[in-house]
Structure 1
Amino acid sequence: MRIISSAEIAAALSYPALVDALADAFRSDVTVPLRHHHPIPQAAGVPEAMLLLMPAWTPPGDGAFVGTKLVSVYPGNGAKGLPSIYGSYVLCNGETGAPLAILDGTMLTVWRTACASALASRYLSRPDASHMVMVGAGALAPHLIRAHAAIRPIRHVTLWNRSREKANALAEGLGRTVPGVSIAVAGDLQAAVEEADIVTCATISSSPIVSGDWLKPGAHLDLVGGYTPAMREADDAAVTRASLFVDTRTGGLKEAGDIVDPIRRGLIGEADVKADLFDLTRGIHPGRGSAEEITLFKSVGTALEDLAAAMLVWRSLPV
C-alpha cells in the first residue's frame, strides 16, 4: 500500500484536469452513501469531538475503486496548539477491496473543494468574468483563486479578510504563484463586491458577510465555507435575488445554512433550488440563463468529489 503525501498530490493534480474529472464523476454512476457522523465524548470542559466517514465507490468492473475519507474534528485542539481537523483518504481496489493507498486528506479536500466551485462556475458565471473577490484568507483561498482562474479569464483578484494581516500575507504569496493576475487587498468589502464578476466566500462565519444588495447584474456568488445549518455567509437578499444552485441536493438541502435557514423561515422553498452539479453536468439544466442573471452556488462537499480526486491522483502517479 502506498502513502501519498500532500506534496505528491499537488504535483499530480492540475486544476483543469480535476475540474474535468469531477464533471465526469457527476455524470457517472458513483454510489455515495450518506455521510456518517459519530460524536466522540471528551473530558469535562472540552468540546465534543466528531468522527466523519465519507465513503463512495464506482460501478463494478475493471478499474473500479472504493474510497473512504476519514475526518476527525477536535475543536479543543486549539488549546493544545494543534489543528482541529485531520483527514486521511483510503483508496481501495473496487474489484478485490485490497487497499491501494492512503492519501493526505487535507490536501485532497482543498483541491476537490476548489475545483467543485470552478466546475459550477463553468456553468454559472459569465464566460467573460475577469474580476474575482475572495472573502476569507484560509487554506482554501489560494486554491479557489487558482481554480476559478483556470476556468474564467480572471485578471484581477481582490482579497478581503477580517484580519487584514492575513489578507496581506495571502496577497504576497499569490503574487508569486498566479502569473498575469493582479492581487489587491480591500478595506471596504461592499465596494469590492459591487465591482466583482465572481465573489467567493470561504469562511466559518455564523452570520452573513456578503449582502445580495451589493451584487451587480451578472454576478456569480460562490459560497464554500459554511458546512452546518447554523452557518451563513450570504444574507437573505442574496438568496432571494439570485438563481440558486447546490453541489448536491442531499447536502445542500440538509447541511447548508445559506439554503436551509431561508427555507425554514419560508423565504424560499426547496423548488427554488434550480439544479445541482448532477443536473448541470448531465445537461438537465443549462445553468446561467442570461448575461444579467445573478447566480448563487452553495457547496457543502460530497464523497463523490473525494473519490474522483483520489482516482485522478492514483492514475497520475508514476508506476
Structure 2
Amino acid sequence: MNDVQPTWYTAAQVAERVPADRARRLIGKALVDGFDPATDPARVSTPAGSGHLLLMPSTISAWTGVKVASVAPENPARGLPRIQAVYVLLDTATLTARALLEGSALTSLRTPAVSAVAADALAPPDAAHLVVFGTGPQAVGHVRAFTRIRDLARVTVVGRSPGKVRAVLEEVSALAPETVAGTADDVARADIVVCATSAPDPLFDGSLVRDGACVVAMGSHETGRRELDAGLMGRSLVVVEDVATALREAGDVVLALEDGTLTEDALVPMRDVVTGAVVRRDDAPNVFKGVGMSWQDLAVAVGVVDPAA
C-alpha cells in the first residue's frame, strides 16, 4: 500500500518558489541540457460538461507530470474563472505522485518565461523599446520577464480600453524609465514587439516592423486565429517551439502557409536558436510564435519542488 502523500502547492507558493527570472532559466536549461520538444506528447482536448478539458502530459528525465485544465465558457457569468487547472507531478521511476500544484499559476509563469528565452536569442542585444499589445496578466508578465533580459528604456502598451491600458501602465511603471500608452503604428520604432491578446486577426501592419527587430506572438493555440499578418511571417526568421506542434496549433503559422508567404521548411525549432545552431537575423525581422507545450509546465513544476533544479 502506498502511503506517500503528495504535497500541495498553492498559487502563492508556486510564485514564491519560482520567480519570473528563475522560470526563464528553468525553461532554457531544459533545452540546453538536451530535451527535444518534438518528443513532447500533443495536447489532448476532450469535451466535458459545458466546456472541455485539456490534458498536457510530459516527461523530462527523472520527472513526469500532467496538467489538467478545464475550460468552461459560462463560468465568468457564475463568478468563476473561465480556465482552471491543477498540475500533478510524479517521479518517472515509479510514477508516484509527489506534488499537486495550482496549475494556472504555472501557466502564468511559463508563458512569459518561454517568450523571454526565445527573445533573449532573437532580440537585438541593445534593444531598448518594447511594444506590448494586450492588457491582461500575460501582458504584465511579459514586461516583467523582458526587463530581465534587456535594459529597456521605454515600454509602450497598446490596448482597446484606455482604462485597462492605464492599469497596466501603473503596474509596470517601476520596470522601465518610460512607460506610455501607444498605437499599432508604434511597432515601426520598436526593438521588441509582444502580442498577448485574444485577437482573431492581425494587430498591426507587419511591413512596419524593422529588420532585426524581434516579434513574439503567444495569444492563441487555434489554427483559425492570428495576431501577425502573412506578410510579416513571410519575410521573417520564424521560430516555433516545435514544428509539428506549430503546424497543428499555431494560426499565425498555418494561415501564412495557406496564404503562400511561408513554407514549412522555413520554420526553425526554438531549441536551435537557444543552443546557437541558428542565429538571429539583422536583415529581417525575427518572429517567435508560441502556443504553449506540456514540457514547459513540467520544467517550472520541477523548480517548485526542487530548489536545486
Aligned to 1:310: 301
Matched, 1:6 2:14: no
1:13-52 to structure 2, matched below 5 A, reads 13-27=18-32, 28-29=34-35, 31-40=39-48, 42=50, 49-52=51-54
1:78 to 70, 76, 100: 76
SS at structure 1 position matched to 2:16: helix
Aligned to 1:46: none
Query: What TM-score, normalized to structure 2?
Result: 0.92
Paired with 2:190 and 2:35, the residues of 1 have a C-alpha distance of 36
1:24 and 1:204, CA in 2 relative to 1: closer, same or farther beyond 3 A?
same
Matched, 1:289 2:289: no
Aligned to 2:55: 53
Matched, 1:277 2:285: no
SS at structure 1 position matched to 2:173: helix
1:125-204 to structure 2, matched below 5 A, reads 125-176=123-174, 178=175, 180-186=176-182, 188-190=183-185, 192-204=186-198
Letter paired with 2:91: N
Deviation of 1:226 after TM superposition, in Å, equals 2.0
In 2, are the aligned partners of 1:212 and 1:241 still within 8 Å (CA)? no
String of CA shifts for 1:23-69, please: whole Å, max 9, x gaps: 22124346521211112253xxxxxx11111001123xxxx111101
The aligned length equals 300
Q: Mark the runs of 5 or more structure 1 residues left unpaired by the alignment.
A: 43-48
In 2, are the aligned partners of 1:248 and 1:302 still within 8 Å (CA)? no
Paired with 1:175 and 1:153, the residues of 2 have a C-alpha distance of 14
1:61-72 to structure 2, matched below 5 A, reads 64-72=62-70
1:249 to 243, 250, 266: 243
1:221 to 195, 204, 215: 215
Deviation of 1:16 after TM superposition, in Å, equals 3.1
Letter paired with 2:196: A
SS at structure 1 position matched to 2:75: helix
Paired with 2:281 and 2:63, the residues of 1 have a C-alpha distance of 36
RMSD, matched Cα: 1.7
In 1, are the aligned partners of 2:156 and 2:179 still within 8 Å (CA)? yes
Q: Which segments of structure 1 move beyond 3 Å, counting only runs of 4 or more?
A: none
Identity of aligned residues (%): 32
Letter paired with 1:244: V
Paired with 1:67 and 1:156, the residues of 2 have a C-alpha distance of 39
Query: What TM-score, normalized to structure 1?
Result: 0.89
String of CA shifts for 1:81-132, please: whole Å, max 9, x gaps: 3221111111112222221111111111111110100100111110100110
Paired with 1:149 and 1:108, the residues of 2 have a C-alpha distance of 20
Paired with 1:108 and 1:243, the residues of 2 have a C-alpha distance of 29
Paired with 1:164 and 1:189, the residues of 2 have a C-alpha distance of 14
SS at structure 2 position matched to 1:253: helix
Paired with 2:78 and 2:64, the residues of 1 have a C-alpha distance of 35
Deviation of 1:194 after TM superposition, in Å, equals 1.3
Q: Mark the runs of 5 or more structure 2 residues left unpaired by the alignment.
A: 1-5
